[in-house]
Structure 1
């Protein structure tokens, strides 16, 4: 059991002294707790317990009916070089009282923490410092624009210096095969190698010392020990060699190793920067200022001066600075980088606008509806950042390996040294082989294999309107073999439209014109469907007089000299009319789950003029979406609360074999749980009633335009309501996970092959250094191939 420490935890939900007593009694029952006191006034619990008992304390408090309020913070970590660094920082932070969850990402160099509210940030920063690294709150780091670019430029100049100094030491080796035998004198080699070893290479010594002080191992220790051994052996040989003779020196090995590692780290930094390009592209969409209209005057103001309800003018070609609603003007909005929708969307009064989209040809006046962190763009950025910083479950294996990797390599290097000495080859050969083992065995590639693939995969997905909420959803999605769809708003448009119409005299144009004329000015959904049909066919409506709503039946009015009515079957019964020749069509359309409306002429002689059937229509791309999933050998299901006729009609059109109709919202999750017994299930939905099913599925996929509740419950959000993106989301998940597996294979393969070769003397230290640098670069470059993906 770990050492006892004091936890000061905030307790939420306490209202009286009995609450405090209940929490205190619950905690005292734990054998691990040696002392506890709960203060109602400060809403704090002071608990003396082992450091590793935090989760048990939280469970006990929750079981007593209370909670420990938490918050999320993010740290920028400096000084990490390999996978073992990640594990060390995570362990250091996890020991801190108040840290509930911690995840450190080598590729982003960020740490995400879930902490009890009120946890001292300075103590967290101190914990990282004691582990041998430095950290800042992310908000502090992001305040300095271009910081990452400045660091990259500094790395570039240091690399150029290292390569220039290494060149004269490597040149003799390159000229020797051509019969040119020339070498710098020992003193010149010493002068060149020393600044490389102790100035340019100082970073390795500093990081190695910090890790050693923290009682851990890392890549920098391997490099520092290996290059120091080569440098020290060269100095020793120089000093003991008689004057006038050329000693066997290995300065070039140490210098080239340092230069190659610096080259590898620089290329790695550049490549990692490319993996985060999606975030930078999204952040670049935010304008700095907005043109506010106040008291009839246009004022250019900073975004932080805007408030909800402000009116903002957006001119043609400008980006929308806020989320809003169009008040005046007509234009088109290019939302390609936000939703992946390549076709500009028409905008007119009443339409919503998304921050970051580009205004087209018209001047628009919009009312601000969301600002700052509440805009759609801000939520997208936060979602992508969270996904890129999260760890995939497979990363746990890598973390376990990295904890023992460096100590194991040091042992292998020592065995190599002793083994070659026993073999009688002399200290020089034995030491060089041991140095080669130390240099080639770098766990950088292991630490980068998973996060770089996740960053590249989630980034390219976001560019095409697919937001992946976390790495676990990404890892699970590639196994999906069952996809369950909600119907309304997911595979169908969600709004009624004229599905069928039939005129008694077969003149559907006149039938539609008369019905549309009756519905002029009505806000009823069915009226809108009729008017939309008129608009699509270019039919102009006629003036109507004496218009009146018929409660529970429909609407009536006079067009010209004709008295007409449009409504349901009750209206036929009131006029003692029969469907006549339309009876068969009415029965068939009702079996499809359609809503029927009859157009009748009331005077002088009541008669039926025609029949309309209203229903939800399939979304564009719905058929293609289902066919794509079937091509991937994925079973599809349709789950809906609608009637059996409506559900079966959609299923037949889409060739979906398994349907579930008349399903209550609470029962959708039960169906998903039953399907999970047959395979890995993805649920696709868009409404509040879909949220339980989305949460129950192995992977929840929320459709764009759906509710925030659905998006929160889902692991993947599709920014466009295009069902074809479901197959695309599963495809990018599969490709990303394949990249993770490829990266891990190569990362392990480099070491599995390289270490034995180096130990048996088949790799000199310089080749080992080049191979080590290549391993990290190749892993990141392989992940970057995902950026070429298209749905």
Structure 2
């Protein structure tokens, strides 16, 4: 583009004129930008330039520390037949003002858009229509690609009719090797081929017209042009041949090619429906009704009528309609489709339940905690849809090829025609060879190679409790050579207990009472251990004020006139205090691998009041997880904020050589960045495994973050992969399914390219007739999708720990 263009973007996070200047300077560095003017009051920026890309501008603004408010939207796209179609729709939508990014998925027939500002969906639909396709807005809670049995049935009948009409035309060709020389009369060949060409093949003419009207070409143009040439040549030869002679016609080539293309499309449609089966299975978990309890009475109501904090009754055998907390009753819940957990999970008062799980033998009273899009099931579905809508970076190669593929094929077909004519071949031979080139070169397989593998791979991963957030995470994960683990809550149970106590003043009960008072309201695992110990001893807690978390060190608060703190060795040293009489106990307990917490009085007189030691146990499956990763050639690392003794105990038990103790969240980042540099030199990537808020920065900094099930929402949002079960064995399983899926993508692309690299020269040199070319073209698409569906056979290795 040579003329200047303008893009307006909304910006949030600006507070002063210096912010505006910083944004303008950041945008000035983007290639193509001529000028950028920020309106601080309107919170918008106007960018002038040439060949501007909204995604590059948004990235520059984000890197400067500000945000461009955006929202997502999905469109259903009809009429796409190949990779070039998907690329054309993408380019058409990208030109609409307000579109930050767009990804069109040929397999799911959806377009996923990121928009900034207000964008009228009618403008987007009009842009798709102008490109020669049809679009419809998909509601946020719409189910994924539902199978349409009526459409599939119509497609099947068209296919059967095409085969029935084409087979008699093909019969003489099949009998010829057997020495039977027989030919249908010309009028009968015409009568059989015409309905196939002009009625059943009309879809190719309509799609070709729309594509050519939009100034481009696609697979339908190749099929329509090739079969029309064969059909037209037959009509011409029939016309010029004397009535007394039997002309050599090629009606069978055109009719059989159309029948084969329809066969490929039918098989492709069936296979594509199977790729989204995991999403449809999750969608089917949503009940439509629930039994609400109000004022002691029960009534069945629609889910849309429920509100937060209301009570519902879940009877044995029913699905949970909401996320909530059990108030009364005991039972078991089958969460297999949600988390991949094969065994029923016990549910008692105080336990959480999730939408879609099946209640077992008991009647439960549940308080509603989340509804609709806020439920865990809805978020899982949204993550899967986002992953399947996205494109792996390798798909960019396919997009570049598809843009020029059809025009190049048309050029090769023309050269084939002219070349054979110049060699002295007849018009019929030259034209048939050109038709073979057009027919075999269909780029359907290229367009389906990546999205079908991603859809099946992410679907089978979800059934095992592994949520892959996007296609980029999938591609990065297969290159992982280093895995960094947090300790508490990741490799260990994260539910430590107080195992030792020693007070310098007073007794153990007094020490626990002060420690428990400080930990009220904290979500830290050690805080839960202190509070559990207080509860077990029936120790009442005192109210504290000015409670404050000290990241990486502990917590502090005021108790009446005393300033108290509970924390680790770093906190002790920071205040210039020494263990004193507790030094021997501290050394002994630390050598056992215990985590230590010092109870300190900071004011009015700084002193050590006592020491608590916590014990934690390895999670079931931790040893097996590390062993499997090491078998995959992946080096494991352990980073923890705990003391050296505790970290060494876990690392020794799991045979992890590289371990770091007493690591603050900021130090974790430094370790991750250093390890990434090492991995780059090995052409590998780094994965970080964690579950807590303090792990979120490291999860985001790693090449890919993996959040453990049961962890915080912050950790899950920062991670590229989320494990729905608190099972370390899912870490190697996640990397394994990513590797397997990416391997399928490469297999599919290899075969998609090979079909054309081998088929095009064969067709051009006259070694493939149009019938064989059509069969090869149909087989290429079907084989690519079928190869992706083999991923459904993948099973996670959940072998038990070996002691």
TM-score, structure 1 normalization: 0.85
Change (3 A) 1:33 1:784: closer
Contact 1:497 1:617 in 2 (8 A): no
Q: Which residue of 2 aligns with 1:710?
A: 715
In the alignment, structure 1 residue 185 sits paired with structure 2 residue 185: yes
Query: In structure 1, what is the equivalent of residue 794 of structure 2?
Result: 789
CA offsets 1:94-147 (integer angstroms, 9 cap, x no match): 122211111111111111111112012111111111111111112299489956
Report the equivalent of 1:79: 79
SS in 1 for 2:678: coil
Q: Does 1:756 align with 2:768?
A: no
Partner of 2:471: 471
Structure 2 residue aligned with 1:653:
653
Partner SS for 2:299: strand
Q: Is 1:388 paired with 2:388?
A: yes
Unaligned runs of 5+ in 1: 502-521, 533-540, 553-582, 598-610
Asked if residue 435 in structure 1 is aligned to residue 435 in structure 2, the reply is yes
How far apart, CA to CA, are the structure 1 residues paired with 2:530 and 2:57?
Answer: 60
1:415 CA drift (Å): 1.0
Question: Does structure 2 conserve the Cα–Cα contact (< 8 Å) formed by 1:169 and 1:189?
Answer: yes
Counterparts of 1:103-252 in structure 2, within 5 Å, are: 103-139=103-139, 142=142, 148-252=148-252
Gaps of 5+ in 2: 502-518, 521-526, 545-582, 598-610, 680-684, 797-803
Q: Give me the whole-angstrom Cα distance separating, in 2, the residues matched to 1:20 and 1:651.
A: 49
Instruction: Give the C-alpha shift of residue 772 in structure 1.
Output: 0.2
TM-aligned CA deviation for residue 150 of structure 1: 3.0
CA separation in 1, counterparts of 2:338 and 2:669?
A: 31
Aligned to 1:309: 309
- Report the CA distance shift for 1:126/1:491 in structure 2 as closer, same or farther (over 3 A): same
Q: Distance in 2 between matches of 1:388 and 1:30?
A: 30
Q: CA deviation at 1:190?
A: 1.4
Q: Give per-residue Cα distances to partners, 1:1-41, cap 9 Å, x unaligned.
A: 34445545444457899999998999999997899998888
Q: Distance in 1 between matches of 2:533 and 2:5?
A: 72
Cα 1:365–1:205 shift into 2, 3 Å: same
**What's 1:265 paired with?**
265
Q: CA deviation at 1:197?
A: 1.0
C-alpha distance after superposition, 1:554-588 (max 9, x if no partner) = xxxxxxxxxxxxxxxxxxxxxxxxxxxxx999864
Residue 439 of structure 2 aligns to a residue whose secondary structure is helix
CA contact (8 A) 1:52 1:95 kept: no
Provide the secondary structure at the position in 1 that maps to 2:320.
coil
Cα contact 2:324–2:353 (8 A) shared by 1? yes
Aligned to 2:345: 345
Looking at structure 1, the residues matched to 480 and 31 of structure 2 have their Cα atoms a distance apart, in angstroms, of 44
**Corresponding residue SS for 2:615:** strand
**Residue 408 to residue 491, structure 1, CA distance change in 2 (3 Å):** same
Residues 499/160 of structure 1: CA separation in 2 closer, same or farther (3 Å cut) = farther
- Cα shift readout 1:400-443 (whole Å, capped 9, x = no counterpart): 11111111111111111111111112001111111001100111
Distance 2:62 2:106 in 1: 33
Aligned to 2:481: 481
> SS where residue 285 of structure 2 aligns?
coil
Q: 1:748 to 1:199 in 2, by over 3 A?
A: same
Is the CA contact (8 Å cut-off) linking 1:268 and 1:777 kept in structure 2?
yes
- Check whether the contact 2:324–2:370 (CA below 8 A) recurs between aligned residues: yes
How far the C-alpha of 1:169 sits from its partner, in A, is 1.4
SS of residue in 2 equivalent to 1:761: coil
Q: Structure 1 residues 119 and 2, CA, compared in 2 at 3 Å: closer, same or farther?
A: farther
Please list the CA deviations of residues 277-336 of structure 1 after superposition, one character each: whole Å capped at 9, or x if unmatched: 110010011101111111111111111111101101100001000000001100000001
Q: Which residue is equivalent to 1:572? A: none
Whether 2:625 is the aligned partner of 1:625: answer: yes
Partner of 1:666: 666
Normalising by structure 2, report the TM-score.
Answer: 0.83
CA spacing shift, 1:753–1:696, aligned 2, 3 Å: same
Structure 1 position 655, deviation (Å): 1.0
Q: Does structure 2 conserve the Cα–Cα contact (< 8 Å) formed by 1:104 and 1:112?
A: yes
**SS of 1:618's equivalent?**
coil
The 1:23/1:392 distance shift into structure 2, 3 A limit, reads closer
SS at match of 2:290: strand
The match for 2:728 among 723, 727, 737 is: 723
Q: What CA RMSD, in Å, does the superposition of the two structures yield over aligned residues? A: 3.7
Aligned CA distance change for structure 1 residues 447 and 762 (closer, same or farther; 3 Å):
same
User: In the alignment, is the contact (CA less than 8 A) between 1:77 and 1:111 conserved in 2?
Assistant: yes
Asked if residue 701 in structure 1 is aligned to residue 706 in structure 2, the reply is: yes
Q: Secondary structure of 2:617's match?
A: strand
Does structure 2 conserve the Cα–Cα contact (< 8 Å) formed by 1:623 and 1:654? yes
SS at match of 2:245: coil
Q: 1:494 to 1:11 in 2, by over 3 A?
A: closer
